A and B are shown apart, each in its own frame.
Chain A
Amino acid sequence: GQQVMQIPQYQHVQEGEDFTTYCNSSTTLSNIQWYKQRPGGHPVFLIQLVKSGEVKKQKRLTFQFGEAKKNSSLHITATQTTDVGTYFCAGRKISNFGNEKLTFGTGTRLTIIP
């Protein structure tokens, strides 16, 4: 079945430093989504990327979708304590029958030293 891996598993940075998490799927994706889950909370949708090579920005966050639509990255510039949490990519696939499925990556847990 489809597998979605993320690296690194954990990232511990000083406040103000940059952070990047990488996402790789074993299969080509229809599109990819990114979610943030705070400790003790539930995943919150951040963004969806659809086109090959697409780049989107949200303030200090930059999201990129690979040309082959099998990998993606999230980069945070100048991290703040509010960025703490686990970042998940999720690959969206639509079957021949029109059913959709979201497969979550393994996640990258970001902790920040104030």
Chain B
Amino acid sequence: GAVVSQHPSRVICKSGTSVKIECRSLDFQATTMFWYRQFPKQSLMLMATSNEGSKATYEQGVEKDKFLINHASLTLSTLTVTSAHPEDSSFYICSAGQGASDGYTFGSGTRLTVV
């Protein structure tokens, strides 16, 4: 089955620093990947849609300059949280799909803690 690898699984960083999260589709090509944010015991909130070779599409209220998304190849999308602050602490998770009739495969998520 489809596998999506996400790294790192956990990261602790200081306020003001930047953190890069990688999302890779291991056995399929993904022209589109999605980035979500999940707070404890809450649902997944779509942050942006990452499109290979073009600019990402951000959801309303998500700061483009703070959450930089790059989708340089068909198997890799990255999310960089710039100038992180404690309120950015959350669970970030990516997903990708193989086709219209299939569900999406999620990465294992990244738990970011900003201190």
Contacts and interface: CB of A to CB of B under 8 A. Distances in A.
Q: Do A and B bind each other?
A: yes
A104 B43 contact: yes
A109 B42 CA distance: 10
A44 interface: yes
B102 A102 contact: no
Nearest to B36: A104
Contact of B43 (A33, A45, A48, A105): A105
Contacts of A102: 34, 46, 95, 104
A61 B57 CA distance: 35
B93 interface: yes
Contact of A45 (B44, B49, B105): B105
A102 to B, nearest CB: 6
A99 interface: yes
Interface in A20-69: 33, 35, 41-48
- Interface size, B (range): 20 to 34
Nearest to B45: A104
A109 B106 CA distance: 19
Given A42-B109, A48-B101, A109-B41, A103 B46 contact: yes
The majority secondary structure among interface residues of chain A is strand
Contact of B104 (A1, A45, A105, A106): A45
Given A42-B106, A106-B43, A1 B49 contact: no
Given A42-B107, A48-B101, A48-B102, A100 B43 contact: no
Nearest to A6: B43
B44 A43 contact: yes
A35 B46 contact: no
A104 B47 CA distance: 12
Contacts of B105: 45
Interface of A: 1, 33, 35, 41-48, 88, 99-107, 109
22 contacts: A1-B60, A33-B104, A42-B106, A42-B107, A42-B108, A42-B109, A43-B95, A43-B106, A45-B102, A45-B105, A48-B101, A48-B102, A99-B49, A99-B57, A102-B34, A104-B36, A104-B43, A104-B45, A106-B43, A107-B42, A107-B43, A109-B41
